[in-house]
Amino acid sequence: MVFSTAVLDTVDELCHTVADLHGELTRNELVIWTAGNVSARVPGEDLMVIKPSGVSYDELAADKMVVTDLHGELVHGNLAPSSDTAAHAYVYQHMPEVGGVVHTHSTYATAWAARGEPIPCVLTMIADEFGGEIPVGPFAMIGDDSIGRGIVETLRGSRSPAVLMRNHGPFTVGPDARAAVKAAVMVEDVARTVHIARQLGDPKPLDQKDIDRLHERYRNVYGQQEIR
């Protein structure tokens, strides 16, 4: 496939970004061995940048990343794309607002997924980032559209950028790859905290109107929007 210079520059930059963001997965202890992946949509193109399959995180430099179309077919790069490529591609095809997708098997989020139980919204941090409970998606086989379909159908009815795929693990989305990685870090953190809270009793529920106010405020005033 021949890219224009502008697309080539964007792809090159995204390869660096995506390679670096895999470092956040290991640093935040969300993945072991090669079991997790980050992708980014190439804006304005029907393309995505994703991790190659079965390559260890130490070797994941920008030049190892691969580019596929939104059917998961390799268009650039020397390695086979991640075995989760079909799921990422399906999400980009059906959720145009999504610019980044992350998949891990992080321990606590996967434990909720193994029970098929959503994470209840009992912390201000969950209201902030997820806007309510974190939902469970269906059990789906790896390799075809099933996982992608399950992700999209579950996230459409939710404010959450994270879905716990049953017996499998979390997928997260965001406007860009960094936001999707942030959601992957946060979903494991709240999965762990609520798990631990539940071990010795029942967390106090939050009122729906408090959840709404917290989520609204977080989306609008948190960070450096105001004066940067």
State the catalytic residues. Answer: 128, 222
Distance CA 172, CA 159 (A): 12
Binding residue for a copy of itself (CB under 8 A) from 62, 94, 111, 159?
111
Instruction: State in angstroms the smallest separation of the CB of 96 from a copy of itself.
Output: 26
Residue 184's nearest CA partner among 40, 16, 32, 37 is 37
Draw the binding track, 195-224, toward a copy of itself (x: CB under 8 A; -: no contact).
xxxxxxxxxx-x---x--xx--x---xxxx
Q: Which residues contact 70 (CB under 8 A, 6 or more apart)?
A: 46, 47, 48, 89, 92, 93
Residue with smaller CB distance to a copy of itself, 156 or 209? 209
Dihedral sign (CA 65, 171, 85, 5): negative
Residue with smaller CB distance to a copy of itself, 2 or 141? 141
Q: How many CB atoms lie within 10 A of CB 78?
A: 9
Distance CA 144, CA 38 (A): 18
Instruction: State in angstroms the smallest separation of the CB of 214 from a copy of itself.
Output: 7
Residue with smaller CB distance to a copy of itself, 108 or 130? 108
Stretch that binds a copy of itself, among 2-10, 47-55, 89-97, 153-161 (CB under 8 A): 47-55
Q: Is 79 in the site for a copy of itself (CB under 8 A)?
A: yes
Amino acid at position 152, single letter: V
The answer to whether residues 177 and 39 touch, using CB atoms and an 8 Å cutoff, is yes
Residues of the shown chain interacting with a copy of itself in the complex, contacts defined by CB under 8 A: 28, 32-33, 35, 52-55, 74, 78-80, 83, 105, 107-108, 110-112, 114-117, 122-125, 139, 141-143, 166-169, 182, 185-186, 189, 192-204, 206, 210, 213-214, 217, 221-228
